[in-house]
Chain A
Amino acid sequence: MPAEAKTEPTATRAAYGDALADLGEQHDDVVALDADLAVSTQAMKFGKKFPDRFFNVGAAEANMMSMACGLAATGKVPYCSTFAIFAAGRAYDQVRLGIAHNRLRVRIGASHGGVSLGEDGASHQMIEDIALMRAMPRMTVVAPADYNQAYRATAESYEREEPMYLRFGRPATPIVYEDIPETLGDGVDVVREGKDISLIATGHMVWRAMEAAESLEAEDGVEAEVLNVSIIKPLHSETILESLGKTGVGVTAEEHRVVGGLADAVRQVAAEQHPVPIFAVGMGDEFGISGTGEACMEHFGLTARGIADRAREALVLKPIVSRPPLFGPEWT
């Protein structure tokens, strides 16, 4: 039965649960583990259907990750879910040696990434997981933009060989993809075309970047191109460089520290192959804070307006340093 696309705002973690339950039906070797957060991460949708293949380890994330290593080494395809703070933070060494170093087909469903989880505050708001997981050799890092893409990311992860870190969010967020996409492809999609500036976003910031692009067009007559980076590592640079080649200036947007996150990933590529000004929207050298999810996002400027403002600052530099594209269709 094909999964149903959502049209109303829905949390990406809901897609993880739905896709995981569907994977369980399709593949006997899929097993799921959770650490007493299965309702929140939505892994319980799998757990209810397949109790024999579902292991709730309680509040013991380190144990969960190493158990997944043993299960995968014996032919299973484990999906481990917990909050991003525990998946990437507490269990880093377990993920590193047992899963990444061992090159095992384990998928980590890291829910409640970023500050939009809200009220629980700094202790639970993971804002450096992308950096940690990007730095880990062999680990693929995925942050889908909406429910529909998150469903595909989870479903498609079964087909891949490498260890994967999938980042999901707590709040219901607007839909970016009208249908469930057929594939994540190379992980970089142009979701809005434009010629003046590249807004390069991931996860919860993609729909905000779309809104920012609209306001830039309405208020400033600027045609912004919006890129959704769903696979942050390995980063497929071609689409990004093509866009930067066209626009000559960019802004990245992520619900994460700028250090080690999407901003650094994009800047690394650009610095080597097409150096243009790239401004960043993201968390500075600071921890999160309690409040509603939306209030937290606003507090740290992780909003459409925050992106649009950075874009306006970046555009000021454009006439000074802009140059013909080094990389483009005619380049090869």
Chain B
Amino acid sequence: MASNANLAAVRHLTPVPDPKPPPRLAERGEAQPSIAELERWATLLRLDCVRMLAVAKSGHLDSSLSAADVVTALYYRVLRHDPDNPDWPERDRFVLCKGHAAPIQYAALAQHGYFPLEDLMGLRQIGAQLQGHPDMHRTAGVEVSTGSLGQGLSMCLGIALALRLDGLDATSHVFGVLSDGDCQEGQTWEAATAAVHFGVPNLTAIVDYNHLQTDGTTEEVMDIGDMRAKFESFGWDTVEIDGHDMEEVLEALERSRTVRKPAAIIAQTTKGKGVSTMEGRFGFHGKAAVSPEFAAEAMEELTARLEHQTKALQSTRDDS
């Protein structure tokens, strides 16, 4: 933080605490957040991502935005996790296999109080805790360090097996978020084979299938084909959903918990979702696309949506 020389100039980008903070673990049972609330939080996390990247001047904004709805559904409703006790042995595990989307996980962790919101502004800066890709020893709430595509699903499988040895596989679930790039790596299919062979009941792989990668569309660069059929043929329980339809996302995630075998959710997504100038457009991946002008425009769009969603929620509450 202190080492970020730009901080004074970007003070206006610093995230402010959400007036509607996420429910604590104990409240989850009664106060299941509604779809509209989750959608609003997804906008909030997207806004944080734009802020972070505007300061960091590097990173993968488009990949973070495509995973925003899935990550929101997980952190705000599905995951059993406790920011006050990050090492709670019975917690669910979240692994961001596509580690380059770290900003979206960092935003969710910060909004939940794993670390101060201001720390988001240190992303990728020397001396700050938020590394370019998640680091388990530097950042609270990160289960394993990731960032090298293809390794994440194997790591998830290892965690699921350890939980089984501890007798926790009925309670603690492992959720891994993969990219389409992850699925181009052969290791993912080694893990997909092994997960079925070892019969882990507590593993869900969510593929954030945004169809864009560094050198072009996945179809141009290396077509992965029918992802759903692939996972199915490996013996996984598989569903395909619209990864930006919160209702579908939530239903698929909660259902996957009850399926007592490895479950894959192919989430069809749009890269850059939520920032209309970025949506589905090639050429942003890993580029310093977040110029001050771009950030201002994106923030304006997202802030307007957040205000709209907040108002809508308030009026629903007033009605009831």
Residues of A within 8 A of B (CB): 31, 52-53, 55, 57-58, 60, 62-76, 78, 93-94, 97-98, 101-103
Main secondary structure of the interface of A (DSSP, over half): helix
Which of B1-9, B30-38, B117-125, B146-154 interfaces with chain A? Answer: B146-154
Q: How far is the CA of A76 from the CA of B137 in the complex (A)?
A: 17
Residues of A within 8 A of B193 (CB): 58, 60
Residues of A within 8 A of B191 (CB): 63, 66-67
Q: How far is the CA of A101 from the CA of B137 in the complex (A)?
A: 9
Residues of A within 8 A of B186 (CB): 62
Q: Are B145 and A102 in contact (CB-based, < 8 A)?
A: yes
Q: Are A67 and B158 in contact (CB-based, < 8 A)?
A: yes
Residues of B within 8 A of A76 (CB): 162, 165
List 25 interface pairs A-B (beta carbons < 8 Å), by A numbering: A52-B165, A60-B193, A63-B191, A65-B154, A66-B158, A66-B187, A67-B154, A67-B155, A69-B151, A69-B154, A69-B158, A70-B157, A70-B159, A70-B161, A71-B162, A72-B158, A73-B155, A73-B162, A74-B93, A74-B162, A78-B158, A97-B146, A98-B144, A102-B136, A102-B145
Q: Are B156 and A70 in contact (CB-based, < 8 A)?
A: yes
Q: Are B144 and A70 in contact (CB-based, < 8 A)?
A: yes
Q: How far is the CA of A66 from the CA of B151 in the complex (A)?
A: 6
Q: Check A98/B145 contact, CB under 8 A, given A63-B154, A66-B187.
A: yes
Q: Check A103/B144 contact, CB under 8 A, given A70-B155, A76-B165.
A: no
Instruction: Name the one of B137, B166, B187 contacting A75, with C-beta atoms under 8 angstroms.
Output: B166
Q: Judge if B143 is at the interface, Cβ distance under 8 Å.
A: yes
Residues of B within 8 A of A69 (CB): 144, 151, 154-155, 158
Residues of B within 8 A of A63 (CB): 154, 157, 187, 190-191, 194
Residues of B within 8 A of A (CB): 93, 136-137, 143-148, 150-152, 154-163, 165-166, 186-187, 190-191, 193-194, 197-198
Q: How far is the CA of A68 from the CA of B154 in the complex (A)?
A: 9
Q: How far is the CA of A93 from the CA of B166 in the complex (A)?
A: 28
Q: Are A73 and B158 in contact (CB-based, < 8 A)?
A: yes
Beyond the given A57-B194, A71-B159, please list 20 additional residue pairs across the A-B interface where CB-CB is below 8 A.
A58-B193, A60-B190, A60-B193, A62-B151, A62-B187, A63-B190, A64-B154, A66-B151, A66-B152, A66-B154, A66-B158, A67-B157, A68-B158, A69-B158, A70-B154, A70-B161, A70-B162, A75-B162, A93-B151, A94-B148
Q: How far is the CA of A98 from the CA of B97 in the complex (A)?
A: 12
Residues of A within 8 A of B160 (CB): 70
7 tightest Cβ-Cβ pairs between the two chains A and B? A70-B158, A66-B154, A74-B162, A63-B190, A67-B158, A60-B190, A70-B159
Residues of A within 8 A of B137 (CB): 102-103
Instruction: Name the one of A71, A72, A73, A97 contacting B147, with C-beta atoms under 8 angstroms.
Output: A97
Q: Check A74/B194 contact, CB under 8 A, given A67-B158, A98-B155.
A: no
Q: Are B159 and A94 in contact (CB-based, < 8 A)?
A: no
Residues of A within 8 A of B143 (CB): 73
Q: How far is the CA of A97 from the CA of B155 in the complex (A)?
A: 11
Q: Are B194 and A97 in contact (CB-based, < 8 A)?
A: no
Residues of A within 8 A of B165 (CB): 31, 52-53, 76
Residues of A within 8 A of B156 (CB): 70
Residues of A within 8 A of B93 (CB): 74
Q: Determine how close the nearest CB of chain A comes to the CB of B99; give it in whole angstroms.
A: 9
Q: Are A62 and B150 in contact (CB-based, < 8 A)?
A: yes
Q: How far is the CA of A115 from the CA of B166 in the complex (A)?
A: 41
Q: Are A73 and B190 in contact (CB-based, < 8 A)?
A: no
Residues of B within 8 A of A72 (CB): 158
